[in-house]
Amino acid sequence: MEDQVTPGHNRWHPDIPATVSVNPGAVFRMECKDWTDGQILNNDDPSDIRNVNLNRT
C-alpha cells in the first residue's frame, strides 16, 4: 500500500470513505495485502518476521 498513488484501506473505519460499493447479491472480487504490506514472503525465511518494519502502512 505504501507504493500506491491513491492510499488504500488498511483497516475498516467509519471515517474512511468507501472506495467502491457493491449491490446486494452481486459477485465481486477484491485483492488485499497482508498486514505487513507484503514484507513477509512465502519463502520460509524467519528473518522476514525479525526484520518486519512496523512503521509501514
Q: Block means of pLDDT (10 residues each) for the chain, length 57 residues?
A: 67 78 92 81 87 82
The residue extents of the domains of the chain are 30-56
* 55 burial level (CB within 10 Å; 0-12, 13-18, 19+): exposed
d(CA 39, CA 18): 26
Q: How far is CA 45 from the centre of its chain?
A: 21
Residue 24: the pLDDT is 96
- 45, three cell numbers: 525465511
Residue 33: the pLDDT is 74
Q: What is the pTM of this model?
A: 0.45
